[in-house]
C-alpha cells in the first residue's frame, strides 16, 4: 500500500505542475494589443492673434503602431474646458491643421482638421464642476435639502490663469495647471504606449489605444458656501453622429487591484465596426498619496437623478442640450457629433467633506478615454493559484481517495475470488 500511495502523490504533483503550466500559457494569451510609439507635439497659439496668450497650446499626441499600419491621435487642451479628443486612423500618414482664428472664436465651428479621415473619433469634455453643501452627510446632491446649495463653476469662467502645459516626453505625460477659486486645478493626461495597469490606485487597466487622465482640485477656497462642500464633475462625451452611446458597469470578481471596488463604469459608443469608450473605477482619492484609507466612492447621475449603473443593461444617457453653455476645442472639430452627458459626485460619510475641519481640501479622480473596448479586469495568476490550492487540491484528494478505495476494493474482491478458484 505504501508504494502505491507514493505513486498517487507523484501523480498529484505532476498534475499540479501541468495545471500551473496551462495557467501560465493561458495568462500569456491576453487580448492582442499593439505597442505604440508616442510623439508629443505642442502647438502654440501664434502671439499675433489677439485672443492668444503665451500659455495657450493644443497638445497633439501621435501614437503610431510599431508595424506602422495604424495610428491614434490625441488632442489635449484646456481652451475653455479640459478636453481629450481621441481619433483612430488606419495609416500613420496623418497630420492635424489648426486655424487659431477659428479655434479662438466662440461662434466658429471650424478650425481643427485632421488631414486624413479618421475611422473613429471620440472626445470627452469636463465643462464644469459644481459645489454643494451636504450638512447631513447624505452624499447625493439630489437630496431635497442639498439641491438648492448647488453652485456651478465652469472652467471657462473660473480658471483665471492656465500655466504653460508641462510636457514630460519620457513618461508621455502632459500636465495642465490652472488657478481656480483661490486654489489649483490640475488636468494631467498620460498617453499609453503599451497595454498596462496604472502604477497607482485605482490601478485601472488601459490599452495602447487610450489616454489616462486625472483631474485634481487642490486647496480651492473661494467657494460660495463653506464647511460641508462636496463636488460634482460634469462629463460630456462626444461621438460621431449616428453612434449609439450608453453607460454600463463591468463587474470584476475580485478586488485584488482596487480594494473594495468590484466594478468599472463604462460609457461606450459604437458606430459600425468601430467603438470607443470612457471608463473609470467609481472612486476618488482625498490625498495625493492614493491609499485605501483616503479612497471614497463616486456616484453617477443623469437626468438629475442618482443612478445605479448595473452590468445587466446599458443605459442611454441624455444628450447635452447645452453645448452652447461651454467652450471646448471639440466644437471646432470637423464632423458631426452627438453628445451624452452625465454627472459624478464623490464622498463617503464621515470623510470630513472637502473643506470641513478634518477635510483634506484635495480631490483627485482618474479615467481612461480610448478606442476599442475597455480591457476587462481578470483574476491574476496569484488569485488563480489561491483558488486552485484552496478548492482544487482538497477536491482532487477526495477524488483520488475515492478512486483508490474503489480500486483497492476491486483488487481485494479479485484476490478472494482467485483464492476460491485455487481451493
Ligand atoms: C513612452 O512612450 C515610449 C514609446 O514612444 C515608450 O517606449 C516608453 O516606455 C513610454 N514611457 C512610459 C513611461 O510609459
Ligand atoms: C508670457 O507673457 C508674460 C507677460 O505677458 C510673461 O511674464 C511670461 O514670462 C511669458 N511666459 C512665457 C512662457 O513666455
Ligand atoms: C504636419 O504639419 C506641420 C505643420 O503644419 C508640418 O510642419 C509637418 O511637416 C507636417 N507633417 C507631415 C507628416 O505632413
Ligand atoms: C467667448 O466666450 C467667452 C466667455 O463665454 C468670452 O469671455 C469671450 O470674450 C468670447 N469670445 C468671443 C470671440 O466671442
Ligand atoms: C458671436 O455671436 C454673437 C451673437 O450672435 C455676436 O454678438 C458676436 O459679435 C459674435 N462674435 C464674433 C467674434 O463673431
Ligand atoms: C501619469 O504619469 C505620471 C508620470 O509618470 C505619473 O506620476 C502618474 O501617476 C500617471 N498617472 C496615472 C493616472 O497613471
Ligand atoms: C456597451 O457595452 C455593453 C456591455 O459590454 C454592450 O452590451 C453594449 O452593446 C455596448 N453598447 C454600445 C453602444 O457600444
Ligand atoms: C449635472 O448637474 C447639474 C447641476 O445640478 C445639472 O444642471 C445638470 O443637468 C446635471 N446633468 C445631468 C446629466 O444630470
Ligand atoms: C487597439 O487598436 C488596435 C489597432 O486596430 C487593435 O488591433 C487592438 O485590438 C486595439 N486594442 C483594444 C484593447 O481595443
C-alpha–C-alpha distance, residues 302 and 238, integer Å: 16
Q: How far is CA 240 from the centre of its chain?
A: 21
Residues 55-84 pLDDT 10s = 999 999 999 999 999 999 999 999 999 999
pLDDT over 50 at 158, yes or no: yes
Q: Is the distance from the beta carbon of residue 65 to the nearest atom of ligand 7 less than 6 Å?
A: no
pLDDT at 140 over 60: yes
Q: Which ligand is in closest contact with the Cα of 107?
A: 5
Residue nearest to atom 6 of ligand 4 (CA): 106
Whether 164 is in the pocket of ligand 2, judged by its Cβ within 6 Å, is yes
DSSP letters, 92-155, are S---EEE-HHHHT-TT----EEESS--SEEEEEE--EEEEEE-TT----TTSHHHHTT-EEEEH
Q: H/E/C letters for each residue in 214-272?
A: EEEEECCCCCCCCCCEEEEEEEEEEEECCCEEEEEEEECCCCCCCCCCCEEEEEEEEEC
Rounded distance from Cα 373 to ligand 9 centre (Å): 8
pLDDT digits (tens, 9 = 90+) for 331-345: 999 999 999 999 999
Average confidence (pLDDT) over 154-178: 97
Q: Which residue from 394, 328, 411, 279 is spatially nearest to 126, judged by alpha carbons?
A: 328
Enter the DSSP assignment of 333.
B
What does DSSP say about strands 96-98 and 112-114: parallel, antiparallel, or unpaired?
A: antiparallel
pLDDT tens digit sequence for 366-376 = 999 999 999 88
Quickly state the pLDDT bin for 386 (edges 50, 70, 90): low
Residue 287 has pLDDT above 90, yes or no: yes
| Distance (Å) of CA 144 to CA 133, 135, 139, 199, 278 | 11, 12, 12, 40, 30
Lowest-confidence segment of 126-140, 256-270, 282-296, 299-313 by average pLDDT: 256-270
Mean pLDDT of the chain: 89
Closest ligand 9 atom to 72 CA: 2
Condensed to tens digits (0 to 9), the pLDDT of residues 193-242 reads 988 888 888 988 899 999 999 999 999 999 999 999 999 999 999 999 98
Q: Ligand 6: which of 199, 201, 216, 364 to mutate, judged by most atoms within 8 Å of the beta carbon?
A: 199
Residue 293 pLDDT > 80: yes
C-alpha–C-alpha distance, residues 77 and 189, integer Å: 10
> Which ligand is closest in space to the CA of residue 267?
7
Centre of ligand 1 to C-alpha 211, Å, is 13
Residue 11 has pLDDT above 90, yes or no: no
- Residue 72 CA to residue 93 CA, distance in Å, equals 11
How high is the pLDDT of residue 423?
Answer: 40
Q: Which three cell numbers stand for residue 420?
A: 476460491
57 Cβ contact partners less than 8 Å away, ≥ 6 residues apart: 42, 43, 44, 45, 77, 164, 165
Would the pLDDT of 115 be above 50? Answer: yes
Task: Check whether 325 has a pLDDT greater than 50.
Answer: yes
Structure confidence at residue 324 (pLDDT): 66
Q: Say what percent of the chain tops pLDDT 70.
A: 87
How much is the pLDDT for 421?
Answer: 47
- Who contacts 40 (Cβ-Cβ below 8 Å, separation ≥6)? 59, 60, 61, 62, 167, 169, 172, 174, 191
- The alpha carbon of 175 and the centre of ligand 9 are apart by a number of angstroms equal to 26
Task: Reply yes or no on whether the pLDDT at 400 is more than 70.
Answer: yes
> How far is Cα 319 from Cα 148, in angstroms, rounded to an integer?
24
The mean pLDDT of 32-38, rounded to a whole number, is: 86
Contacts of 48 (CB under 8 A, 6+ apart): none
DSSP three-state, residue 12: helix
Give the pLDDT score at 1. Answer: 47
| Cβ 343 under 6 angstroms from ligand 8 | yes
From the CB of 340, is ligand 7 less than 6 Å away?
no
Angle, CA of 283, 285 and 286, to the nearest 5°: 140
The per-residue pLDDT for 375 is 86
User: Residue 35: pLDDT above 60?
Assistant: yes
pLDDT at 387: 66
Residue-level pLDDT at 170 = 97
Q: How far is the CA of 39 from the centre of ligand 6 (A)?
A: 17
Name the residue of 188, 196, 216 to mutate for ligand 6: max ligand atoms within 8 A of Cβ.
188
Ligand 8 centre distance from Cα of residue 351 (Å): 24
Task: Report in angstroms the alpha-carbon separations of 352 from 134, 179, 356, 362, 369.
Answer: 11, 24, 5, 11, 31
Where residue 410 falls among pLDDT bands split at 50, 70, 90? confident
Percentage of the chain beyond pLDDT 90 is: 70
According to DSSP, residue 48 is labeled T
Atom 6 of ligand 9 has which residue's CA nearest to it?
Answer: 33
> Mind listing the pLDDT tens digit for each residue in 13-29?
666 666 665 565 555 54
CB of 351 shorter than 6 A to ligand 8 = no
Dist. CA 169 → ligand 3 center (Å): 19
pLDDT of residue 392: 75
Its sign, for the CA torsion 351, 355, 356, 359, is positive
CA of residue 87 to ligand 4 center, whole Å: 27
Work out the angle at residue 247's Cα, subtended by the Cα atoms of residues 241 and 249, and round it to the nearest 5 degrees: 150
- Distance in Å, CA 107 to ligand 5 centroid: 6
* 137-146, 221-230, 248-257: least confidently modelled range: 248-257
Does residue 181 register a pLDDT over 70?
Answer: yes
Q: Is 268 in the pocket of ligand 7 (CB under 6 A)?
A: yes
Amino acid at each position: 500500500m505504501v508504494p502505491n500511495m507514493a505513486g498517487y502523490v507523484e501523480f498529484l504533483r505532476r498534475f499540479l505542475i501541468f495545471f500551473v503550466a496551462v495557467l501560465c500559457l493561458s495568462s500569456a494569451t491576453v487580448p492582442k494589443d499593439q505597442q505604440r510609439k508616442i510623439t508629443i507635439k505642442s502647438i502654440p497659439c501664434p502671439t499675433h492673434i489677439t485672443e492668444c496668450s503665451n500659455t495657450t497650446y493644443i497638445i497633439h499626441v501621435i501614437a503610431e503602431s510599431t508595424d506602422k499600419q495604424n495610428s491614434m491621435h490625441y488632442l489635449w487642451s484646456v481652451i475653455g474646458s479640459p478636453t481629450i479628443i481621441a481619433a483612430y486612423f488606419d495609416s500613420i500618414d496623418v497630420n492635424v491643421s489648426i486655424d487659431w482664428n477659428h479655434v479662438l472664436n466662440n461662434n466658429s465651428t471650424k478650425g481643427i482638421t485632421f488631414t486624413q479621415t479618421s475611422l473613429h473619433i471620440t472626445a470627452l469634455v469636463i465643462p464644469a464642476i459644481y459645489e454643494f453643501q451636504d450638512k447631513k452627510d447624505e452624499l447625493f446632491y439630489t437630496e431635497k435639502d442639498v439641491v438648492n446649495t448647488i453652485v456651478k463653476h465652469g472652467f471657462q469662467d473660473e480658471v483665471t490663469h492656465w500655466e504653460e502645459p508641462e510636457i514630460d516626453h519620457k513618461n508621455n505625460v502632459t500636465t495642465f495647471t490652472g488657478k481656480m477659486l483661490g486654489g489649483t486645478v490640475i488636468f494631467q493626461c498620460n498617453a499609453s504606449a503599451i497595454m498596462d495597469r496604472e502604477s497607482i490606485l485605482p490601478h485601472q487597466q488601459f490599452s495602447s489605444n487610450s489616454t489616462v487622465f486625472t483631474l485634481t482640485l487642490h486647496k480651492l477656497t473661494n467657494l460660495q458656501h463653506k464647511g460641508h462642500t462636496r463636488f460634482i464633475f460634469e462629463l460630456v462625451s462626444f461621438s460621431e453622429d449616428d453612434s449609439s452611446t450608453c453607460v454600463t458597469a463591468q463587474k470584476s470578481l475580485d478586488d485584488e487591484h482596487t480594494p473594495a471596488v468590484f466594478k468599472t463604469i463604462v460609457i461606450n459608443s459604437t458606430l459600425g465596426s468601430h467603438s470607443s469608450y470612457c471608463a473609470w473605477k467609481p472612486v476618488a482619492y482625498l490625498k495625493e498619496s492614493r491609499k485605501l484609507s483616503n479612497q471614497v466612492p463616486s456616484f453617477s447621475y443623469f437626468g438629475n437623478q442618482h443612478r445605479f449603473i448595473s452590468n445587466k443593461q446599458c443605459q442611454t444617457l441624455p444628450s447635452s442640450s447645452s453645448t452652447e453653455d461651454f467652450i471646448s476645442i471639440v466644437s471646432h472639430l470637423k464632423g458631426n457629433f452627438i453628445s451624452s452627458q452625465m454627472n459624478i459626485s464623490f464622498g463617503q460619510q464621515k470623510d470630513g467633506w472637502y473643506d470641513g475641519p478634518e477635510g483634506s481640501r484635495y480631490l483627485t479622480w482618474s479615467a481612461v478615454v480610448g478606442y476599442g473596448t475597455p480591457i476587462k479586469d481578470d483574476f491574476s495568476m496569484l488569485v488563480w493559484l489561491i483558488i486552485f490550492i484552496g478548492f482544487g487540491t482538497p477536491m482532487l484528494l477526495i477524488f483520488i481517495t475515492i478512486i483508490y478505495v474503489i480500486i483497492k476494493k476491486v483488487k481485494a474482491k479479485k484476490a478472494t475470488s482467485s483464492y476460491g478458484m485455487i481451493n
